[in-house]
Amino acid sequence: MVLNKIKINKLIWNLTSEEMKTKILDRASFDISEQIKLIEPVCEAVRNEGDKAIIEFTEKFDRVKLQKDQIAVSEEEFLEAKQLLDEETKKVIEYATHNIRRFHEAQKPEPMWMMEMEKGVMAGEKVTPISDVACYVPGGKGSFPSVLLMLGTPATVAGVEKIIVITPPNKEGKVDPAILYAADILNIHEVYKAGGAQSIAAVAFGTETIPKCSKVIGPGSSFVTAAKLFLREYIDSGVPAGPSESIILADEHADPKKAALDLLIEAEHGPDSAALLVTHCKDIADQVEEQVYHLIASLESDIRRQFVETVLTNYGGIIITDNLEESIRFANEYAPEHIELMVEKPFEILNEIKNAGEILLGDYSATSLFNFVVGPNHTLPTGQYAKTISAVSIHDFLKRSSIGYVTKSGFHTIKDYAAKFADIEGFETHAKALRERN
Ligand SMILES: NC(=O)c1ccc[n+]([C@@H]2O[C@H](COP(=O)([O-])OP(=O)(O)OC[C@H]3O[C@@H](n4cnc5c(N)ncnc54)[C@H](O)[C@@H]3O)[C@@H](O)[C@H]2O)c1
Ligand SMILES: N[C@H](CO)Cc1c[nH]c[nH+]1
Ligand SMILES: [Zn+2]
């Protein structure tokens, strides 16, 4: 085994320059104005030319020429996918779906509730699914059937009537059979071969083949993120889920090999990801660093090795703090997508972690388990959005309407309060509608 020549970032946080601190904290949530410039003409062309533009940009960016009647996945392609897939793959997809469904079913709210505010004055909420949603399944740097399970399952459990999938085709002009198998078991049969900005524009405006949708949800590259931002007036774009990122927060009890392994998980997604070991224990930092070099050298895939090396020398690496409290402060300021607590008593610090898409406790709760099969949703907010936004859930596919019912006697109990409020705000007719009603 030949050890690599790279030197991963290793920063004593209190001695780190402000410029470097900003780079680490901002990671790839950098200014995407360059990508906006690139995708603007793509979106405009899709708006004006529909399928013709989808075909043109799929050829340009995905290097495959589709005919118009190949944009939608056919029933034959679904059947072919089922035949191509081996039994073990099918079983794993089914196992994951089962757990993901159970988890999201547990999130189901009451369909309606009401309370009595005064005698004869009722107020409550009614929950209704969004009528139609497009799930974006990325496809540039890998295939993501798991993403479809994480989007399609909560959409199905929520009761969304029309669920479609958009995903870039592979070099053969096909959709990965595993994605089609996942779609099939979710009973989703509208899958379109379109990715990147062109697919977001397609569901924002509609084309001859791809239907216009009310919402698009799913993770993606900077082109996808830029298109969602650019088209925000036309389509709701859900949880901002960009390049994957994680923090492994360790104390002196962490196992360096496990910490190093888990540090590499999200680092292998792409060069714009971020993966950080955060520890106050210098000894652990040194041991994990050593392990990381060995693990990198042992990676079989050149492209994944390049991604990991780029990540750990760019937005990722090792952060050394003064103590556990500072590590926790750092994590909360960073607001990672995933955080693993590799400390002696993880449950004791759980409540101190305020900002994270997903919090995993102890040495065995590897992020990969939760990426695929445990049940919680892996499509999570990145780039500090975990400060205010949660993981994709069934709530992303539901909306609430307030409801109210007031009887005649209930009306007379509270009308004077409301009429006075209307006077305070100077709304004459608001007041009249109350005072002139008997
Ligand atoms: N946050 C999460 O929950 C989560 C989950 C899974 C994946 N991810 C992230 O999603 C991202 C997936 O990215 P990806 O690249 O694999 O797939 P992608 O499908 O998002 O992007 C690839 C598409 O971008 C378009 N494209 C490529 N080059 C282009 C160019 N020069 N100009 C315009 N468009 C271009 C192409 O159409 C291509 O199909 C990764 O960063 C991964 O880390 C995040
Ligand atoms: N790590 C991603 C979420 O951040 C999920 C994923 C899917 N496949 C591999 N990883
Ligand atoms: Zn992952």
Ligand nearest to the CA of 146: 2
Matching residue, tokens 């085709």: 169
| Substitution site in 136, 221, 368, 396 for ligand 1 pocket (most atoms within 8 Å of beta carbon) | 221
Sign of the alpha-carbon dihedral angle for 16, 22, 28, 34? negative
244 Cα nearest atom in ligand 2: 4
Matching residue, tokens 């790839």: 28
Ligand nearest to the CA of 59: 1
Q: Report pLDDT digits (tens) over 265-283.
A: 999 999 999 999 999 999 9
| Ion ligand 3 residue ranges (Cβ < 5 Å) | 371
Q: Does the 10-28+243-375 domain belong in CATH 3.40.50.1980?
A: yes
- CB of 337 closer than 6 A to ligand 2? yes
- Does 10-28+243-375 match 33-117+129-230 in CATH topology? yes
Ligand nearest to the CA of 28: 1
What is this model's ipTM? Answer: 0.98
Q: Phi-psi bin for 426: left (phi > 0), alpha (psi -120 to 50), beta?
A: left
Alpha helices per DSSP H over 50-176: 51-62, 75-84, 87-105, 145-158
The CA 139 to ligand 1 mean position distance, Å, reads 6
Domain positions in the chain are 10-28+243-375, 33-117+129-230, 407-435
DSSP string, 277-338: EEES-HHHHHHHHHHHHHHHHH-S-HHHHHHHHHHHHTT-EEEE-SSHHHHHHHHHHH--SE
18/6 Cα distance (integer angstroms): 24
Q: Report pLDDT digits (tens) over 396-418.
A: 999 999 999 999 999 999 999 99
Q: Report pLDDT digits (tens) over 281-326.
A: 999 999 999 999 999 999 999 999 999 999 999 999 999 999 999 9
Strand order in the sheet with 317-320: 10-12, 317-320, 274-279, 245-250, 338-342, 358-361
305/106 Cα distance (integer angstroms): 38
Answer whether residue 337 shows pLDDT above 80. yes
266 Cα nearest atom in ligand 2: 1
146 Cα nearest atom in ligand 2: 7
Report the DSSP beta bridge partners of residue 134: 164, 216
Catalytic site includes residue 44: no
Question: For the domain bounded by 33-117+129-230, which CATH number is listed?
Answer: 3.40.50.1980
23/43 Cα distance (integer angstroms): 30
Alpha carbon separation from 274 to 2, 76, 140, 325, 414 (Å, rounded): 25, 40, 18, 22, 56
Instruction: Report pLDDT for 30.
Output: 64
Q: Which tokens is 301 given? A: 């895939």
- CB of 146 closer than 6 A to ligand 2? yes
Q: Report pLDDT digits (tens) over 168-191.
A: 999 999 999 999 999 999 999 999
The CA 145 to ligand 1 mean position distance, Å, reads 14
List 280, 338, 340, 358, catalytic entry? 338
Instruction: Report pLDDT for 228.
Output: 96
